[in-house]
Structure 1
Amino acid sequence: MAKKRQILVIGHNTKGCLPKHEKIAYEIGAEIAKSDSVLICGGLGGVMIAAAHGAKDAGGLTIGIIPQNDPAEANEYCDIVIPTGMGLARDFLNALSADGVIIVGGGSGTLSETCAAYMHKKPMVAIRNLDSSVDPFIGGYLDHRENIKIVGVDTPQEAIKKILELISP
């Protein structure tokens, strides 16, 4: 059996997460499940719970890598919970566990995960026009190294299509 693709969805936690972010994340989660990929998220609220909910509703497998040490802290849509007890350092585990990353809005935590993925040259796709910390970098690079371009898309369907193109051999 071949390894399943693992797609990380990152974005706003509960604070700052608007209904439009939740709707987009839910649809992305469902599309990940339909593509027979595994959804990875930070396992908490906001974009994370919405994406996991969408993946579960579409029959997919979900993994939540949480910063706390108690697995009960994860949202109810996580099939597999990895309680790291590492706080925000878990952002690196999230990025390194993924074959590709989809970004739905977000603040400094999302930017931290984006930087971790960038340093390890993980393909990334970001939904445009969500007023996030990543917006200035969509269509370009985070720095002079030009490790990996952050590709901008407009819809959840485009996000899945593009990330699958980028991570397929």
Structure 2
Amino acid sequence: MVKKRQILVIGNNDNGCTPESEKLAYDVGSEVAKSNSVLITGGLGGVMRAACRGAQESGGTTVGIIPQDDSSHANEFCDIVIPSGMGLTRDFLNALSADGVIVIGGGSGTLSEICAAYMYKKPIVALKNSGGIASKYADGYLDHRKNVKIVGVETPQQAIKYILEQINT
């Protein structure tokens, strides 16, 4: 049996998540499902909830790795909930569980996940038009090491296409 691809979608929680970011996240989640990949998120609200909803409504599987130790904190669109009990350090678990990462908006928590993925040279793509951390770091590197370029794209379809190309090489 071949392992399914696992794509992490990160971005703003409820606080700071715009309707535009929710729509992008929903569409990204749907594209993840259509690619026969597993969607991984932080399992909470905002971008995470919208991506899970999009994936689930398109027949995909969703995994939420939440910072709490009680699965009741996860959004209702998580098929599988992993209550890490690790607080914010769960960002590393999220990044290491992923074959690739898609960034939609985001703040400091999103940046933490990007840093973890960057250090482990995971492919990262950012939706340039989603604001926040995604717009700030799209088409650049986090530091002088240039571990992996954070590729900026315009659409959810371009994001999935890029991530799948990187995973399948």
Shorter-chain TM range is over 0.9
How far did residue 166 of structure 1 move?
1.1
Contiguous gaps of at least 5 residues in structure 2: none
1:127 maps to 2:110: no
**1:31 — aligned with what?**
31
Number of residue pairs the alignment of both structures matches: 169
How far did residue 131 of structure 1 move?
2.2
Moved more, 50-59 or 128-137: 128-137
Structure 1 CA distance, aligned partners of 2:20 and 2:135?
16
Structure 2 CA distance, aligned partners of 1:55 and 1:130?
19
**2:89 — aligned with what?**
89
TM-score, reference length from structure 2: 0.98
Note the 1:1-169 alignment, pairs <5 A: 1-169=1-169
Structure 2 CA distance, aligned partners of 1:9 and 1:88?
16
Structure 2 CA distance, aligned partners of 1:133 and 1:125?
12
* SS of structure 1 residue aligned to 2:132: coil
TM-score, reference length from structure 1: 0.98
CA RMSD of aligned residues (A): 0.7
* SS of structure 1 residue aligned to 2:129: coil
Structure 1 CA distance, aligned partners of 2:59 and 2:162?
22
Structure 2 CA distance, aligned partners of 1:137 and 1:39?
22
String of CA shifts for 1:76-126, please: whole Å, max 9, x gaps: 111110001111000000000000000000000000000000000000000
String of CA shifts for 1:39-96, please: whole Å, max 9, x gaps: 0000000000000000000000000000000011100111110001111000000000
Identity of aligned residues (%): 68
Contiguous gaps of at least 5 residues in structure 1: none
Letter in 2 for 1:47: V
Letter in 1 for 2:80: I
